[in-house]
Amino acid sequence: MVRMIDVANHAGVSLKTVSRVLNNEPHVQDALRSKVHASVKELGYIPSASARSLRSSRTYTFHLISRTVEGNFVNTIQSGAVRASQKHGYNLIVSLMGFETLNEPEALERWSKSFLIQKRPDGVILVPPYSDSPLFNEIINKAGIPISRIGPNEIDDMNNVNITIDDGVAAKEATNHLISLGHRRIGFIRGYEDHGATHKRFKGYSDALQEAGIDLDPSLVKPGMFSFESGMNAGLELLSMNNRPTAIFAANDDMAAGVIVAAYRNNIKVPEAVSVMGFDDSELAERIWPTLSTIRQPLLRYGEQAVEYLVNRAGNNSKKKSDRPSWTDILDYEFILRESTGPLNEYSIT
């Protein structure tokens, strides 16, 4: 069995240097890192997870906290986070929590004692709505555990990283695309009301209408829950109206897919009779027919960036809150034109 001392002797460095390299600690010369990694690879050294934990007081685990493991949004972020975690020798655990817990301070305190103190992850990744909860974020911060917040509603100074896109600008561009095709009656399906992205995307939609001189018709705005079923139900409502919309913008791809199914159940062709726009560019967007015009969020990169921050934070031995790195990373989005949107024509108007 190859030991860490064997790696040190092979690389011609100290045992402490090998330990620092394997624990991804900062302030190690690149040349020494390269030597250690080359020796690890050549000797086939496999670090013991339990030994690493004892040496560094880390658990080498990150937790991604979500209310569900379903849905393309969370799954794609999770894939990016798993890939990055494995690259750095960490395990990623997906922990489910009921959303109602966020509004119960006593329940959160119990969770803190049973989860944060006992499991002691090296970092936490929060997706909406958990990234939007000030109380939830405060409890994790008090435990001294760094957080990567994906898509938070408000950007604050909580000594953590915030990873997002400009949802409002992206939604405005998506709506302007439909307007440029001649559509004036444009429906909108909202997401969870506790998600900051829901409100930002609705604002982008309403701003685009206002700037185009189109009155916002409240009857064309329907609630949704970012799920296929909620999109289908909202789509059935919108498409059964006497003066139905000629285009529908759903706040995520799952709901947009539901709208397409609702349209075909009513013998309404997409995009000839109604255009459908999504948001996220999840895998579903290319698998449904017609393929979905949408806004591409860098979902894989969200997960990768979240882990990279936590790895860097774990390698920083400073325990002072003021010494923790903190920043906001606003990533680029991309408008993706596919087959589900088309120009207004005689088939669109009822």
Decide if pLDDT at 317 tops 90: no
Indicate the pairing of strand 334-336 with strand 221-222.
unpaired
Q: Where are the domains of the chain?
A: 4-55, 58-165+298-315, 167-296
Which tokens is 284 given?
């579903």
The predicted pLDDT at position 318 comes to 44
The predicted pLDDT at position 322 comes to 43
Q: Tens digits of per-residue pLDDT, 274-316?
A: 999 999 998 889 999 999 999 999 999 999 999 999 988 876 5
4-55 matches 167-296 in fold: no
For 58-165+298-315, CATH gives 3.40.50.2300
Specify which residues 188 forms β-bridges with: 221, 249
Q: Tens digits of per-residue pLDDT, 75-90?
A: 889 999 999 998 888 9
- CA 196 to the chain's CA centroid: 12
pTM for this predicted structure? 0.78
| Unique residue bearing structure tokens 């539901």 | 258
Question: Are residues 99 and 136 in contact, defined by beta-carbon separation less than 8 angstroms?
Answer: no
For 167-296, CATH gives 3.40.50.2300
Determine the number of helices (DSSP H) and then strands (DSSP E) in the chain.
14, 12
Question: Are residues 308 and 84 in contact, defined by beta-carbon separation less than 8 angstroms?
Answer: yes
* 3-state DSSP of 22-72: HCCCCCCCHHHHHHHHHHHHHHCCCCCHHHHHHHHCCCCEEEEEECCCCCH
Stretch 251-269: mean pLDDT: 96
Q: Tens digits of per-residue pLDDT, 18-68?
A: 888 877 777 788 888 899 989 988 888 876 655 554 455 678 899 998 877
The predicted pLDDT at position 349 comes to 59
Return the CATH number of 4-55, one of 3.90.550.10, 1.20.1260.10, 3.40.50.11900, 1.10.260.40: 1.10.260.40
> Which residues lie closer than 8 Å to 317 by C-beta, 6 or more apart?
25
Q: How confident is the model at residue 326 (pLDDT cuts 50, 70, 90)?
A: low
